[in-house]
Amino acid sequence: MSDFFSELIFLAQRVNWLTIVDIFLVSTIFFIVLIILRETQARTLMRGVILLVIALSLLTTLVNLPAFSWLISTILPSLLVAIPVIFQPELRRGLERIGRAGAGTFDLRGAGLNIEAIEKMIRDVVGAASRLSAYRHGALIVLQRRDDLYEYEETGVRVGSAVTPELLLQIFYPNTPLHDGAVIIAENQITAAACIMPLSASGVLNRSPEREMGLRHRAALGISEATDAIAIVVSEETGAISMAHRGRILRRISADKLENVLTAFFRRQAEQQEKRNIMHWINKVIHFQEKEG
């Protein structure tokens, strides 16, 4: 223990401004990685990896275990290869967000969507979910937000139609070609149907005493863990409506509550997008004036 404190004093005596900059850069990298993994299933795994590395480092420093220290020093570098493989989806989405920010935060998909169109889309979706619940027709509706869902759209059938309750009812009518799978809605358009969603492996549904939650609920929770999308599920057994977002699922919600929650989510997103589009337009005008001047 005395050797450990002696090393700390030795290091403290050699701290300079370059050391502070070095520590700041490393801390910034860790902060960015944690922001990318925030509210994802990989966050818990990343936290476990960090705690394990810290514990092993302290153990090998405080206790003289040559064989164990050699084993740890040999294994730890392999994490540099394992981490990108384990966190590949999260890192890709994080790089996509950085790319959109570098492009001036101007999102072409959704740039012309106003609050009135969003509210109409929400009313149509909630109306369809309410009628599907009354008929006890199972359904899974995924509403895209900021994260793109192109890769999941490719697993289904392209639709490219405006959102209407009648069309959603027809898609999820039992034994029709498109009823088995998820419908993806981007802006106010049904982009694809019969899409395959990733299943959740978090165990949230396994801990629930309710046994009627099957693959649709796992798929809803899975897509909410993988992206920032909102998934709406209608149970085929009970007709109950559920909503999943950010790895959490809200069970047995009424149509009115569902409409209020969706309106709050998408109204805030539309207002933020409108502000970004205005700022982008102002920057373009300023740039044009400076170029002409």
Domains in the chain: boundaries: 2-102, 115-273
Please name the helix (run of DSSP H) or strand (run of DSSP E) that holds residue 234, with its range, or none. strand 230-234
* Angle at CA of residue 244, ends 258 and 263, nearest 5°: 35
pLDDT of residue 144: 92
C-beta of residue 145 within 8 angstroms of C-beta of residue 229: yes
pLDDT of residue 111: 44
Give the CATH fold of the 115-273 domain. YojJ-like (1 (3.40.1700)
Q: Where are the strands (E) in 121-214, listed by range?
A: 139-143, 157-162, 182-186, 189-195
pLDDT of residue 148: 82
Tokens of residue 282, six digits:
């102002």
pLDDT of residue 43: 62
Give the strand pairing for 230-234 and 189-195.
Answer: unpaired
pLDDT of residue 42: 59
C-beta of residue 257 within 8 angstroms of C-beta of residue 267: no
* Cα 2 to Cα 34: distance, rounded to the nearest angstrom: 34
CA atoms within 13 A of residue 218's CA, in its CB half-sphere? 15
Q: Among the residues of 63-213, which ranges form H helices?
A: 66-75, 79-86, 88-102, 115-135, 150-153, 165-171
Distances (CA, A) of 284 to 111, 141, 289, 291: 16, 37, 9, 10
Which ranges of the chain have pLDDT less than 70?
A: 1-5, 7-8, 10-13, 34-47, 79-80, 83-84, 86-113, 202-213, 269-293
The residue with tokens 């057994």 is 237
CB atoms within 10 A of CB 10: 9
pLDDT of residue 1: 53
pLDDT of residue 274: 58
pLDDT of residue 214: 80
